[in-house]
Structure 1
């Protein structure tokens, strides 16, 4: 008879028994916590950390008593949310701290479900339950959270790996989270097994899928390049010094009264408006056919007629499409597209004002779409781009006026907004104020970029394809996410039935 001795730290009992404790579990917790801080979807992400952290944290939870292990995991998860806020200079007021605690709790649930259900399902269930739970809660937060996908979506941590990110054209933003979760359960499965023989099929299956994703993405980048016509688009962000001077003038007039006084507002922002008009003419004379202003570049009160008259005159004289961005303090955040014939093509109000920063009601206008000689143009405003369902538009070029701050700008543009271009197959032009502007093609490749945090008028040009490409995600929507939700419920039902039978 052969006796097999299994190391206590690496052993996990299968068939419904509890996972055993490990002498090194606090080492895995500490390392996992450190790696997780570099995988929160902010400025200092390390892409590999997003893959390693769940492996170690899952190992710790499986080797620990449920209450103690999950309590410490919750602390790590909340710390990650707070660290995300610190990196992006989001004010840690009471509401934001409460939000971080909520986010940390929600994104701990996949570990709770794995700890409870993994011992009660078969090998396939143990491998796929955790990644299905990750997708379920990423999808849930993207749907109901006031921050959309800006926190908790693991695809953000992989923003520079374009071959990997092409899977988003099929799965939406949730495919990366599934792969990361599957990798975590696979490594733990190998860690727990005594025999390599029982690991070959799971390892082989994951390897084949990951290779298919990477090779498929590489082929898409290599052979699905655009070979048609391009249009020159220009983006304009006003001079920060000029705009700040306007703000100081309003404050000197006793801001509450000035913000309701159209004459005071007009005087304060006359220099900003003049600069925007001059910049638009400059862009048109440089060859731009579409010009985009940054979010709320111009300010007005109830009526925008005077500003729109000037903008219409410029658009007609220069023969351009002009996307005018206007804000009314404490009231609204709008864009207007004016055609080269002077027609007012659309009026759009921001659908998702930033919680705590924009005391305005959400807009109720649908995302606009218009056919032009330069493809189908569409438009959202800044934070709207963090809501994938809103961004699923059959367009060729998406225009996104934005307004950020230095710590947020690059992350918001290069890591978050660019994902929407890959998901939906359109080019995306994001003109940012006090942040980072960039243009991307339908594969997520950067066409143009510009830092807009310094003084001076910022003018960015980009030649964008006039035709996009339909993606599977753009057509079928969140089907992959819903399949993961259904799979999670099915595995949970199996686990509950087994638990009930074992007790009876």
Structure 2
């Protein structure tokens, strides 16, 4: 079979399954071609279930599931194959929901179905477009479309990159992930996609020097990425920078239980709280403040210069906010610290609150007030904020802040900062994974990242993604958590250029579709 790129390959929508080759492992007792196809589909499904960015991910499965799904699609009719691949995507999304205990609401189901539909686009491109592009186009069309689709979904859908970002599955492979500092979070998606098409190229043609050249090229690219990433880790360590002691503080479960006893209702029920006696709500807020202030003072006296609270650590009425900020400012002034408060402000006669942070300087003055930009769709009713991530110059470098789910939107995390503070609020199944997701932002942008998580996993990372310290906060009775964090980040190419690589993949996909349509018409 010719491997030349100058002659068009047969249209895959019309081509029957290739004759059995040595690479297919056929024997006289092998499965029929049709049954073998469904074996590939089953393997693709099984592997994808452990490559969705969940608690039970296995890094290698992310590199394998698309190989089998492509093989299934390329050897059968697309009008029957694509709906089945879509169902595989739906199954993966639902499995992600179940293992992370995400509430199964109507909006969650719609989100899973929509994301599965979006993720079908690269497979449709591979099935209908790439056969008209020659061998090189067949190698690159799928990974380019896969990258472009991941970028568009991660940027413009309300769930961000919380689900479906393949780089998350590789969180333990820091050498590989250093490529994110160059090309962004979707670079890993491209690499995984091109491995899938290279493997299928070999599968279709059998193993020979001529057919293996693309596989060798892809292996060389992957090796270059890993060796380059390892060199970055070895020769540009973050440990040479001066450090500052940062502390994280959570409200304890005992404190919150006492607050709810005083209030007589769930402290998260904004509508009920808005109807409660203001004096009772004020007493509830004071009970929470007492513990948070005491732990903040303890952390400061242990050497912390920056203290951050977990998301919605304090809850109070908007009318009581000025008095609370005055007390917190006095605490920051007495201890000489930067204090990043995380406050849920109850609004009068409203079924929602204001999820915000307030940074107080060592003089007690307010340096920023930031409102969460991305409330979780279907789970949080906060009114979204509008401003960018704030940045403040301090003796410990440029300090910035977002809140929890905001970190699942890579574009808003491209901030010129040395330390990124991320107050979070999760639940046990989600906490560790959500913090690992946030760690990618540190590599992409070259800053240290500290995520203080309520009922999950608090962790700090340097600009290469190394874990500096961590604390399991699910017991609910944790002491203040203290970590030494580098005060100087680094400038990354991704932070300067943004998602140029992803946009180029999108442009290449559109060009490939246009070329394929033109070639199809010329042949017609």
Q: Measure the CA separation in 1 of the matches of 2:400 and 2:412.
A: 12
Which of the numbers 323, 328, 342 marks the counterpart of 1:325?
A: 342
In the alignment, is the contact (CA less than 8 A) between 2:448 and 2:489 conserved in 1? yes
How does 1:318-357 map onto structure 2 within 5 Å? 318-329=335-346, 330-357=352-379
How far, CA to CA, are the matches of 1:257 and 1:492 in structure 2? 55
Q: How far has the Cα of 1:331 moved from its partner?
A: 2.1
Query: 1:98 aligned to 100, 110, 115, which one?
Result: 110
Name which of 462, 467, 473 aligns with 2:483: 462
What is residue 20 of structure 1 aligned with on the other side? Answer: 16
Distance 1:253 1:474, change over 3 A: closer
- Matched residue SS, 1:300: strand
Query: Of 84, 101, 120, which residue of structure 2 is paired with 1:89?
Result: 101
Q: Distance in 2 between matches of 1:80 and 1:56?
A: 15
Match of 2:302 in 1: 286
Q: Deviations over 1:427-473 (max 9, x none)?
A: 00000001110000000000010111113144211111100000000
Deviation at 1:350, TM superposition (A): 0.4
* Residues 1:309 and 2:326 aligned together: yes
- Cα RMSD (Å): 1.6
Q: Do structure 1's residue 495 and structure 2's residue 516 form an aligned pair? A: yes
Q: Distance in 1 between matches of 2:416 and 2:211?
A: 43
Q: C-alpha separation between the residues in 2 aligned to 1:264 and 1:31? A: 58
- Superposed CA offset, 1:3-62 (max 9, x none): x9xxxxxxxx93435342334111111111100100001110000000000000110011
Distance 1:191 1:327, change over 3 A: same
Residue pair 1:332, 1:349 contacting (<8 A) in 2 also? yes
1:194 deviates by 4.4
| 1:97-136 equivalent positions in 2, closer than 5 A | 97-136=109-148
Normalising by structure 2, what TM-score?
A: 0.91
Q: Is the 8 A contact 1:262 1:300 kept in 2?
A: no
| Whole-angstrom CA distance in 1 between matches of 2:212 and 2:265 | 72
Aligned length: 491
1:233 correspondence with 2:229: no
Which residue pairs with 2:161 in the alignment?
Answer: 149
Query: How many Å separate the matches in 1 of 2:306 and 2:415?
Result: 19
How far 1:195 sits from its partner (Å)? 6.1
In structure 1, the partner of 2:463 is 442
Query: For 2:505, which of 478, 484, 493 is the aligned residue?
Result: 484
> Aligned partners of 1:406, 1:480: CA distance in 2, in Å?
35
- Cα distance change, pair 170–326 in 1 and its aligned pair in 2 (3 A): same
Change over 3 Å in CA distance of 1:267–1:160 after alignment to 2: same
Structure 1 window deviating more from structure 2 (476-485 vs 201-210): it is 201-210
Asked whether 1:369 is paired with 2:382, we answer no
Q: Could you tell me the TM-score, scaled by structure 1's length? A: 0.95
| Cα shift readout 1:143-169 (whole Å, capped 9, x = no counterpart) | 111110111110011011100100000
Instruction: Report what 1:10 is aligned to.
Output: none
The answer on whether the counterparts of 2:154 and 2:160 sit within 8 Å (CA) in structure 1 is: yes
CA contact (8 A) 1:237 1:294 kept: yes
* Structure 1 position 366, deviation (Å): 2.2
More deviation in 15-24 or 389-398? 15-24
Quote the offset at 1:253 in angstroms.
9.5
Q: Aligned residue for 2:220?
A: 208
2:413 corresponds to which residue?
391
> SS in structure 2 opposite 1:342?
coil
Query: Where does structure 1 lack aligned partners over 5 or more consecutive residues?
Result: 5-12
Deviation at 1:257, TM superposition (A): 4.7
SS at match of 1:263: helix
Q: 2:402 aligns with which of 369, 376, 380?
A: 380
Match of 1:404 among 426, 440, 443: 426
Taking the TM superposition and a 5 Å limit, the aligned residue runs for 1:229-308 are: 229-252=242-265, 256-260=271-275, 261-303=277-319, 304-308=321-325
1:432 alignment partner in structure 2? 453
